[in-house]
Amino acid sequence: MELKKIGNVKYINGGVCAAKGFRANGVQCGLTHEGAIPTKGKNDLALIVSDTMCSAAAVYTTNKVKGAPILVTKDHISDGKAQAVIVNSVNANTCNPDGVQKAEKMCQLAASELGLDEKDVIVASTGVIGQVLPIEPIAAGMKGLAEGLTYDGNPRAVQAIMTTDTMPKEVAVEFELGGKTCRLGGMLKGSGMIHPNMATTLTFLTTDAAISPEMLQQALSRVVKVTLNRVSVDGDTSTNDMVCVMASGAAGNAEVNSDGADYEVFENALYNVMLNLARMMARDGEGATKLIECAVSGAPDDKTAETVAKSVITSSLFKTMIFGEDANAGRIYCAVGYAEGDFDISKVDIDIASNAGNIAVGRQGCLVKFDENKAKNVLSEEVIQVIINMGSGSGSAVCWGCDLTYDYVKINGDYRS
């Protein structure tokens, strides 16, 4: 899938290892859960480590049920500092009476191997909810995990965080701050239980730019709202969602500690990485065959535009329409119409577009005649755009989703096995 570029950045390889001074690794330690058969060769434990102490920031799920790793990470980075991330897949370590104890133990094990303070370790987990996390495989695998850390270990790490993901998701960019070359990269897992409310994802970001914890948190919180929070696959918001970022300062730029030109450059770099990770997540929705991008303009305000775009991408009828490549555009108007907000539906125009062309399907709140064969060709592409002009102002927003297929039910019908 082609990466979108906004502003003056250069795309590079390396994911979480693109930034100077970051090592990573992933191993299979043998985690499993009741009723499941371990996947041979699939990494399930990952480590990301900076050579030096970093500024750190994070955003978490809004679900009232929060995985134990989130509670521990919140405490550990309350001082705005971190140096490592330990993360496992297979088991979410959520809704367990000993969850916090196990999450703390993961930090202790990693810190012991790395020679760090356990309070400087971020911890995350993803997988099945409600199964007790066995700490023994993690303890047994920690030494090899730490010894295998390399400055190009990102492919091993990203594989370890995948659950129902069908492809690794990594993005990295290069940019300049104060004449110094800086890099920012990240990796993401996310395929199911995805909904615009901090999305359902584990996302790990690293940068060698120097930026204060306060400004790092500001940038992350702002960018999450227009990237991860605008993705939906199935309407479910998970318990373990977390996105965290570590900034080492190894690039040597003057620290970004206030709003201004340098801050804007950094935030744009972060936006580019998270925008494309969000798009990858939507495209890799469980069972999905298409990425949907809904762009709304002409809304009374940005909030209304976002509400309308989310209403469209979360509509099950619309999502099945995209899967069936059937330009039943009445479903789009329906989803726009039940979106909350004060706007005039009689002013709303709708187009559908892809690399195969653009076709008008609605004008001023009414369906219009169009060439069904051309519409079929437009909808046959992998990336589908729904373009909505509300004719009522200057507000705009873009949200991302995917089609709803037979395979989504198959995947989730036997997720635990």
Instruction: Report the catalytic residues.
Output: 200
CA 229 vs. chain centroid, Å, equals 9
Using CB atoms within 10 A of its CB, is residue 103 exposed (0-12), middle (13-18) or buried (19+)? buried
Whether the Cβ atoms of residue 241 and residue 201 lie closer than 8 Å to each other: yes
- Among positive and negative, which fits the CA dihedral 307, 309, 313, 317? positive
Tell me the H-state helices in 342-415: 372-379, 406-413
Angle, nearest 10°, between helix axes 330-337 and 302-313?
130
H helix and E strand count, the chain: 11, 15
Cα–Cα distance measured from residue 189 to residue 166, given in angstroms and rounded to the nearest whole number:
10
Contact between 382 and 290 under an 8 Å Cβ cutoff? The reply is yes
Q: 331: closest CA among 323, 371, 196, 281?
A: 323
Using left for φ > 0, alpha for ψ between -120 and 50, and beta otherwise, residue 143 falls in: alpha
Residue 269: in which H helix or E strand, if any? Answer: helix 261-283
CB distance 205 to 249 below 8 Å: no
- Specify the DSSP class assigned to residue 38: P
Helix, strand, coil percent values for the chain (each to nearest 5): 35, 25, 40
Task: Specify the DSSP class assigned to residue 93.
Answer: -
217-226, long-range: CB < 8 A, 24+ apart? 217/57, 217/80, 219/57, 219/263, 219/266, 219/267, 219/270, 220/57, 220/58, 220/59, 220/245, 220/270, 221/57, 221/59, 222/267, 223/267, 223/270, 223/271, 223/274, 224/59, 224/198, 224/274, 226/271, 226/397
Q: For residue 47, what are the β-bridge partners?
A: 25, 86
